[in-house]
Structures are given as structure tokens and as C-alpha cells.
Structure 1
Amino acid sequence: MPFVAAIRRVALGAVLALLASGALAAGPGRSAIASPHHEATAAAQHILQQGGNAFDAAVAISAALAVVEPYGSGLGGGGFFLLREAGDTPRYAFLDARERAPAAARADMYLKDGKVQPGLSINGPLAAAIPGLPQALADLAATHGKLPLKDSLAPAIRLANQGFAVDRIYRDRATMRLNALRDDAESARLFLAGNDVPALGTLIRQPELATTLQRMAEHGRDGFYRGPLAKRLVDGVRQAGGIWTLDDLAAYRSAWREPLRYPLAEQRELISSPPPSAGGIALAQSLAMLQRLPWQSAEPVQRSHYVVEVLRRAYRDRGLLGDPDYVSNPVNRLLARHYLTGLADSIEVHQATPSSALPPSPAWREGDHTTHFSVIDAQGNAVSATLSVNLPFGAAFSVPGTGLVLNNEMDDFAADPGGSNSYGLAGSQANAVAAGKRPLSSMSPTFIESPGQFASFGTPGGSRIPSMVLLSVMGLLEGRPVAEWPATPRYHHQYLPDVLEHEPGTFSARQKAELEERGYRLKDVGRQYGNQQVLYWDKAGGTVEAASDPRGVGQSATGY
């Protein structure tokens, strides 16, 4: 609306004037944390109270989540960390701690007689890539932290020894993977009670995991990737039929990459995840297309139509992407203004575009039970991190004596690039299995920054992550209260299958009928999904807020 736009221009001018005068503080003056579990939030608060910064707090949160959320992340998995380094001109960094395929991995390792054997890339040690999270924690402490690694790991070590209480999310995830957990004696011992899902309030203690964390506290990355623990990991994997070697562990390194940066309207900038994440590109494309569409003034069905159509087009391009260390990603072409203008102009105002009418692209899917947190300190340093073991409890395989449940991220590769992966979807050569390669991901830790605002977004949810983050970013762009961003009802389209998925209650009966008249095929997924954790810093007002998704059991906090 013209009046709203005028008000925004006046407000932006005032903020710029304050910046020029030096009246705006370099940092918010207090910290904020949004994490999916109260124990992780408490760990971060402790570290900040001890004089640590946001990067130290990120180590503490990640390690604590490895204890209390074995279904979502852990030392046996990996993740992406988006960093903001405070200053008059903030600097951004992206730490890629995605797991890597073992050196013995090959493109046909999950095929037998030309057909994919789904179980091999889902359950057991052959499904596990080389973990990246331990390296990331050591890297963060060494390059950006103020405290030694041992201090930042201390809350998680205490938590693993003392135990945590089973909550409804733990029970839900354990129920989903109950048979797989039962099939592995060590996983059953660690995460079940009497070979069944633990009751609410059951105390889960993990002394072996505490010992593993203590080894890292004393020896850093070599405490995990070399020495006695590395040998125990390799022996346990190989005895159960896996292909890890000591060289695989010793050779693992995380990768520092340039974050994806994309200018938006009103001097905002998107700072998000580059490949091997496909999420940042999908977000940039979606926001760029929405800028050409009157979505803010549209009634609900029309707005949903615009959002679904930009998502359909953005998700179509995902099959072109892969690990940047192995393939050349056409990022510049996918983010070119003329290309995105053409995509936006191809959207019919009142009619769905059948995905079959767009140029073909490989379909895909990935595990959707990861975890996410956001933290900012008083100086303005910030971390947005999405961590994963892929499916709940990863490969449901735990290495005896280590407390570690391993990821099943190998299933995020295209198991059969010429045919279909374990989900029955078309494969992609760019994301084919190869030794040392990182699988493509949708994990999308994201910042939006302008002269007057800073916001952090992210969520678990596999292929639905970019659509969830987009819906939350729209809340920022509209000026809605921060608590509403992660609570917004969710819907999703990913090009193929050509289905508009949604949570129960997202659309009314009338809205569903209108969408169907436009040509959409709707699917109620039957449950709520995602667990978004967001932050907002109003630089002009000097306030900072955090919000946790009401779908989860997370806790947000400000102070210090």
C-alpha cells in the first residue's frame, strides 16, 4: 500500500540518520537464545554468564542437544552454522560441517541387481557418513570463541552424566523408529526402556556419551577423529558391516564457505546457506519472485497461490545442485534478475501451474527430523545453526561403548542417479554418491539484516525447511509480532510431487475449495511439522526478542 510504503521509507531514513550519527549501538546490549530444548537454552545461558560469546554458546547448545535430542542431532551427525561477527560492518561466515561419504563409498553401493535396496541407506552402519559436528565444535571454539572448548562442553558433560527427562517429542520420535531401535541392541539399551518407548519423565543417563565428550574436552578434534575413540568407532562400524576406516575419520574437515547473500527491497539483505545446501538459493529465488507480486495486499487464498507458485519454481531448480567441492553449481544463473523476473512473470494470477508444464528436473526428498537453534550475544555476534542425523535417531545404530548413535545421511544422496532413490523419486547426477562427497541438504540457517533490523531464522523439516523459513520471513516483512513467526500455519509445495501439502487447520473448507478450483491437489499431512527458532533485534529501538515454535518443547530467553 502506498501509505505503508511511505511510512517505511520515513522510518528507514530515520534509522540511516541514526547510523550516520553513531546513535545506534553496535550490539543489542543483551543476549537472546531460542533453542528446541530448555536444557540447551540453560547451557547457553550458563556459558554467556561465564563470559562466553554467541559462538561459545553455540558450542554449548550443540553439545547439549547431542545429549537430549539423540533423535535430531548429535556427535554422530553434522550440520550448518551461519555466523554473524559483530562490528560497525558485520561480517558473515558459513561453517559447513555436513557429513562426508567414506572413501570406500561408490555410486552403486545401495544397488543389487540394478535395484535400490532401501534398508541399506536407512538403517545400520552402511547408512552412516563420516560425522562433522565434533569438528565444527572444535573449529568454532578455536576460531571464534572466547572460552576454551572444555568450558563450553562442560554443561553437556554434566547433562549426560546426570540425565534428562523424556518428553513428548522424544516419545514421538522413538515411536517412529521403534522397530529400528529394537533391531540394534546398543541403541535399544541407550534409548529405550524394557525394549519399548520410555514413559514420560523417564530419566535417560548417558555416561558413555559423557566420556566421549570429555575426551573431546581434553583433546579437541583429535579426541574424536584420532586415537582410542576413533579406533572404537571404526571397529564397531566395520564389525557390523560398515565401511569406515581410521583414515576416513582422520581426514574429515569441515569447510568454511562464503554465505549466500542476496539483496532484498528496503535495504534488507538475505544471508543464508550456500551449497551443499539447496535451501538458501530456494529462499532467495522465492523472495525475489514475491517482490514482483502483490502478496501483502492479497486476500488469504490469493496470497497462498502466490507463495505456492514461487515455491514450485524455486524447488524445481534443486536437482541442479550438489556438493560444491565436486560439482559446478549454477548459482549465478539461478539468481540472475532476468531469470527470476521471467519465473515470476510466468505465474498465472488465478490458476495453478501444473508442474508438468515447467521444464523437468529430478525430484528428491530427505529426512525431516533435524534440529535448529539461534543465539545472539550482547555485542551482536550471532549464530543460526541447523544440525542433523537425518531420520529420527539416524541409522538407529549406536557404536558400543561410545554413546554415539550414527547418522544415516548417506540416504540423502541419490542412491540411483539413473533411476530412483530409496523414496522412489528420480535421482540426480549432481547428488550421486561419491567418496568424500557431502550430500545435498535443505538445511537453511538464515539471517535477514538491514540498517535497522536483524533477524535469524531456521527450522528442522527436511525438504519443507525453505518453505517454513519463507513463511516466517514473510512475518518479518509484514511487521508481525516475533512470536507469530514460528507459529504461523504451514503449507508447502516442492514441484514434485505436484501436491500442496499443509498442516491440519491451515486452510478453511472454503479456502480448500477455492484452491482446488484453481487446480491445486491438496494433502493434509495429518500432523504439525517443523520446530522453528527465531530471533529479532530492533536496532533503532534497542530491543531483542526470541521465540520458539509452539509445536515443540523449546525455550527462548533473553538477558545477560
Structure 2
Amino acid sequence: MSKPLRALLLALVLPFAAAGASAAQASDTSSAQIRTHPPGTAIASGHALATKAGMDIIRAGGNAFDAAVAVSATLSVVEPISSGIGGGGFFLLHDAKTGKDIFVDARETAPASATPAAYLDEKGELNRDRATNGPWSAGIPGLPAALVHLAQNYGRLPLKTTLAPAIRLAREGFEIYPRLERGYASRRAVMERYRGTRAVFLADGTPPMTGEILRQPELARTIELIAEKGFDGFYRGETAKKLLAAVKEEGGKWRIDELTGYQVKEREPLRFRYRDWDITTAPPPSSGGVALAEMLQILEGWDLSKLDEAHRHHVIVEAMRRAYRDRTIYLGDPDFVKVPMRRLMSLDYAAGLRATIHPEKATPSELLPGVPAPLEDDETTHYSIIDADGNRVSATQTVNLLYGSGLVAPGTGVLLNNEMDDFALRPGTPNAFGVMGFAANAPEAGKRMLSSMTPSFIESKDRIAVLGAPGGSRIITEVLVGILGYDEGLNAQQVAALPRFHHQWMPDAISAEKGAIGPAAVSALEAMGHTVNAAESPWGNLQTVSWNKRTNTLEGGTDPRNPVGSAEVVDSRIP
């Protein structure tokens, strides 16, 4: 890496940086030996209570997959603004014993009632309220099935053990933090429509306030049923009946067979190479992996370290623009639509896209075709785990927008997602994140809506990193910036703190956090024809862990934009 580029990256990182976590090798760190097992466990998540729950499970004899169940369920309790068992997620796993990578798809599915026509108003326009609020906005949840699947197929410990921290926190409560208070205030008008939601968040007669204790006894009971009965504890029996009744009470239409028929799917992860890194990431119905591959394979044509700040941002943005255009046109649930994966993942295709990038001029998005060529979702949370056996988990889970649909099913404590808005409910009409879609992502019964969640592993000869982030359509570019940071030699905490910028084809503008792009570079980019929004509020919540196989050290990086996030490293060689 060039000294000027490294200096620039560090200068950008320092104002954002917060203390991360690391574990130094207990013996000599000067050895060049490549280690085969990490020295302990590293966990980074969006809340300290979730990180602690995962570490408690490791100490109880669990592996990374057991810890993932504990972290996931705990986040579902303490981050209702971002995720929950009424939502879904993607889990990228590495099983050290077999060397196999597995992608666990627990994305929500569309109920049969969710036809495109159901989301149009009397003028034929998208009914935004129905798409984002209440029962019609909710897909069939997948997260509970994923917790059961992980425990039964990859964990060592029973669900009664791994779900115990979440059950306790739901019953005894946790301290409300500012983000929950602010998020509730922004969604209050919707949240207070529903009696089940009022029972949870207005239990004392007033909205949630920072420092108060939020107790969710009904949610504790629901998670207990999953611990006792597994899949049937949520998708059948008393919880299922209450979910169906709640949806019906508010005018929605779910069927019992849509709950009992929900299936977690294991899919083959996407793999590609960028410079010295082997990258393993999410396949469709995530759009993240395909877009990530396109962007990095386009960018491999430049030595980014030799470009000045303006031109470096220019070529990265142009790669983003082209990948997001393809995301919009081609991607959807591969069980329902033919996704041209061979083309989109091709080095030749990336080279062709690269050739369309003018070195000194922005490409107006309107000049990139908005129709298919002939064929040959800070609402979300992420956590990353590496354990002492070398098992890895990169998991992103969500309920979509802040507090999802706003609807808590009475008697369950389950806050339902509003993932139906991630479908192209009206082709060509942007969703809540400003992202458009077409036929490939139109709703059908049982179909999984397209997602931007991008849990990823990157591995070089001497380093492994696990990373991912929330942020709606900006997730993919957060992960891209993180990978570029690791490629430049930054540590886990520096990667988590990197300033962010983003382009998603439409709208045709660069979004950038304040300070992410220097004033001179902004002027140069504007002279090239870019529109630059250079002082947006910070976004995202990247969580990452890494293992240096030469020094045998673990690091955890937690996003300083999120004050309740936590990274913890435990060296198993030290009592």
C-alpha cells in the first residue's frame, strides 16, 4: 500500500475510531509460521449484551454456531428497532471440521395474499402505508426456524441453553438506549395503532425513554416455547394461533400452512477472488454477493493506491453505479426467477463494464439502460464470530425499517417485519430505500424478497476476516469499503470505523458521510459531472472480527457510530 493512501485512510478513520478488541499471541509474535487454529474466540455485535451472551455460551462449551444462536436471539430482544424473531436473516457459516462454507437462507416469504394488486391504491399507485406498516407489510418470519436449524445441524448445545440469555433479558428487561427512544418517536404514530404494540412499548403509560427498563414477558414466553419445542414452538401451537389472529384482527391474510410450511434453505455461497483475497459471500436472494463481485472485479483493473482521492472515489462510484443497475434489473429469488449468474459473475463481463468507465467523466445513470438486456435493506443488525476451532459465522438479520411493521402480535411479544416493501410491489417505483425493482423481484406466494444483506468472509494467505453490516441498500457498499480497508492493511477496528460513501444507480448521486470525501475531491468529482451529497449523517453499523494466522492474534472491530455495540476477544490459552 502506498504511504500517501495509508495516511489518508488513517486520517479519515481517526475521527470515527473507538476502542476495539484484540488478543495478542501469548508467546513470540515474530514467528512467520502460519497457524492452523485461532488462539480463542472473537465476537463483534451491535449490542454488548448480545456479545456477552455469545461469549457466555462459548464458556459453557459451545462453538461459534451455538454462540450465533445466543447472539441472534439476544439481539432480537435488545434491538427490536433492527431485528427480531418476527423477521429473518442470512447466516454465512464456515465449518472448520469439514472445511465447508454454508449459506443459510432464513429470509421471510410472501403470503399468498400478497399480490401486486393488493398494494395499489384506487389510482393504481403504490399504497406506501400498506407496504410499510401493519399486517400487509409483513412476510412470514424466518429467524426462529434459522435458530432451530443452526442448533440442530451445527451446534453442540441444546436450545434451552443457547436461548437462555435472551429469555432472561426479555423477562428481566434491559436498559433503553437513545436509539430505541429516537426510533420509537419517529414511528410512534404507527406503533400506537396496534394494541399489542401499545402493551409492550406503553406498558407504563408513556413512550420508551432512555434509562428505563424495557421488559417483554410475552416475548420471553415465545422464545421459551422455541427452546422447548423447536420449530413447532413458533410455527405451530399457541404462538402460531396468536400470530394468525393478530394479522387477521388488523385486516391481513395469513394462513396456517404458510407458517407450518416455512423452510430454511441452505444454498451454495458465492466465491470469487479479488487481488490476494478469496471472498465468500451471499448468493441470491441476497443481491449483495453478486453486486460485491461485480464491483470488486471491475475495480481490479486499477491500482487504487496510485490514484488521487478524487479519481479513486470516481472509479469506485462508477463500479457501484453499474452493479446497482444490474441488481435492480436482474436479481430476485432464484427459486422463482432465472438469474443470469454466469454473466454477472464473469470476469469478462466485469472487464466490459470497466471499459465503459470514462477516467475523467461521470456516467449519467439515465444512460445505462433501465430495462433488461437479452439474456445469453440502519434498520438491520449484523454480528461476526470466529471461535478457537476456526468455525466462523457472519450473520445479518432484520425486520426491515425501524421497528418493522410496527405491529406486535398480542400475547406473543413478536414484532412483525415489514419486508414486503423489499419486493417490487409496483415495478419501477422506488421502495423505502429508494431502490427500484422489476419483474424478477415481484411478489409471489412463497417467494423470498430480494435483500441487500451481505455477510462475508475474506481470506488471504495469512489473514481471515468476517464482516457485514446493516444499512438497507447501503449494506453492500459498506462491505465493499470494509474489504478495501482490509486490503489496504487496516486492522479490524479501523475497518469498522472507515467513513462511508455510496451510489446505487438511482437516484444518480453520491451519498457521503461528513468528512468521507475531502473538499478538494468533492470539487473535482463535481467537475467530472457527479452530484455529491458530501455531509450526510453517519450510517451503518459494521461489525467485524479478524484472525492473523502469522502472529496468531484475534481482533474485533465494532462500529463507533453505534455506542452500544461491542467487540470482545477471549484468548483460550490464558486462564
Question: Normalized against structure 1, the TM-score is what?
Answer: 0.92
Distance across 2 between alignment mates of 1:298 and 1:215? 56
Letter of the structure 1 residue corresponding to residue 311 of structure 2: Q
Distance across 2 between alignment mates of 1:525 and 1:119? 30
Deviation at 1:157, TM superposition (A): 0.5
Distance across 2 between alignment mates of 1:139 and 1:525? 43
2:475 maps to 465
Equivalent residues of 2:360, 2:528 under 8 A apart? yes
Equivalent residues of 1:32, 1:535 under 8 A apart? yes
2:27 maps to none
| Structure 2 counterparts to residues 316-331 of structure 1, below 5 A | 316-319=325-328, 320-331=330-341
3-state SS in 2 of match to 1:544: strand
Give per-residue Cα distances to partners, 1:2-23, cap 9 Å, x unaligned.
Answer: 999xxxxxxxxxxxxxxxxx96
1:250 maps to 260
Do residues 489 (structure 1) and 499 (structure 2) align? Answer: yes
1:122 maps to 132
Do residues 537 (structure 1) and 551 (structure 2) align? Answer: no
1:406 maps to 416
Letter of the structure 1 residue corresponding to residue 366 of structure 2: S
Do residues 304 (structure 1) and 318 (structure 2) align? Answer: no
2:565 maps to 554
2:460 maps to 450
Distance across 1 between alignment mates of 2:207 and 2:105? 33
Distance 1:175 1:3, change over 3 A: closer
Distance 1:123 1:2, change over 3 A: closer
3-state SS in 2 of match to 1:189: helix
Deviation at 1:187, TM superposition (A): 1.4
Letter of the structure 2 residue corresponding to residue 557 of structure 1: E
Which of 106, 116, 122 is equivalent to 1:107?
116
Do residues 290 (structure 1) and 338 (structure 2) align? Answer: no
Distance across 1 between alignment mates of 2:535 and 2:240? 41
Equivalent residues of 2:435, 2:506 under 8 A apart? no
1:19 maps to none
Which of 278, 281, 285 is equivalent to 2:290?
281
Aligned CA RMSD, in angstroms, stands at 1.9
Deviation at 1:482, TM superposition (A): 2.0
Q: Choose 249-258 or 229-238, whichever is displaced more.
A: 229-238
Distance 1:188 1:2, change over 3 A: closer
Q: Which runs of 5+ in 1 are unaligned?
A: 5-21
1:433 maps to 443
2:233 maps to 223
Distance across 2 between alignment mates of 1:421 and 1:67? 27
1:15 maps to none
Give per-residue Cα distances to partners, 1:470-490, cap 9 Å, x unaligned.
Answer: 111111101012211011111
Letter of the structure 1 residue corresponding to residue 483 of structure 2: V
Equivalent residues of 2:2, 2:305 under 8 A apart? no
Distance 1:419 1:488, change over 3 A: closer
- Runs of 4 or more, structure 1, over 3 Å off, are 1-4, 22-25, 192-197, 418-427
Letter of the structure 2 residue corresponding to residue 555 of structure 1: S
Do residues 390 (structure 1) and 439 (structure 2) align? Answer: no
Do residues 91 (structure 1) and 93 (structure 2) align? Answer: no
Letter of the structure 2 residue corresponding to residue 92 of structure 1: D
Distance across 2 between alignment mates of 1:426 and 1:38? 35
Distance across 2 between alignment mates of 1:70 and 1:391? 11
Deviation at 1:179, TM superposition (A): 1.6
Equivalent residues of 1:271, 1:447 under 8 A apart? yes
Distance across 2 between alignment mates of 1:67 and 1:203? 12
Letter of the structure 2 residue corresponding to residue 64 of structure 1: T
3-state SS in 2 of match to 1:529: coil
3-state SS in 2 of match to 1:108: helix
Equivalent residues of 1:186, 1:398 under 8 A apart? yes
Equivalent residues of 2:522, 2:534 under 8 A apart? no
Distance 1:92 1:334, change over 3 A: same
Equivalent residues of 2:517, 2:534 under 8 A apart? no
Deviation at 1:422, TM superposition (A): 6.7
Which of 182, 196, 199 is equivalent to 1:172?
182
| Structure 2 counterparts to residues 187-202 of structure 1, below 5 A | 187-192=197-202, 197-202=207-212
Equivalent residues of 1:317, 1:361 under 8 A apart? no
Distance 1:521 1:386, change over 3 A: same
Deviation at 1:24, TM superposition (A): 3.6
3-state SS in 1 of match to 2:118: coil
2:487 maps to 477
Do residues 269 (structure 1) and 302 (structure 2) align? Answer: no
Distance across 2 between alignment mates of 1:326 and 1:157? 37
Equivalent residues of 1:189, 1:195 under 8 A apart? no
Deviation at 1:417, TM superposition (A): 2.3
Distance across 2 between alignment mates of 1:550 and 1:147? 32
Deviation at 1:194, TM superposition (A): 5.8
3-state SS in 2 of match to 1:383: strand
Distance across 1 between alignment mates of 2:442 and 2:558? 35
Distance across 1 between alignment mates of 2:380 and 2:525? 31
2:160 maps to 150
Letter of the structure 1 residue corresponding to residue 553 of structure 2: T
Give per-residue Cα distances to partners, 1:207-230, cap 9 Å, x unaligned.
Answer: 000000111110001100011111
| Structure 2 counterparts to residues 47-66 of structure 1, below 5 A | 47-66=57-76
1:11 maps to none
1:498 maps to 508
Letter of the structure 1 residue corresponding to residue 294 of structure 2: Q
For these two proteins, the number of residue pairs brought into alignment is: 537
3-state SS in 1 of match to 2:506: coil
Question: Normalized against structure 2, the TM-score is what?
Answer: 0.90
Give per-residue Cα distances to partners, 1:96-142, cap 9 Å, x unaligned.
Answer: 00000113322311013322211111111111110000000000000
Equivalent residues of 1:95, 1:255 under 8 A apart? yes
Q: Choose 59-68 or 503-512, whichever is displaced more.
A: 503-512
Give per-residue Cα distances to partners, 1:497-520, cap 9 Å, x unaligned.
Answer: 111111122223322212111111
Which of 36, 46, 57 is equivalent to 1:36?
46
Which of 520, 523, 526 is equivalent to 1:510?
520
3-state SS in 2 of match to 1:112: coil
Distance 1:525 1:195, change over 3 A: farther
Distance across 1 between alignment mates of 2:2 and 2:536? 40
Distance across 2 between alignment mates of 1:193 and 1:231? 23
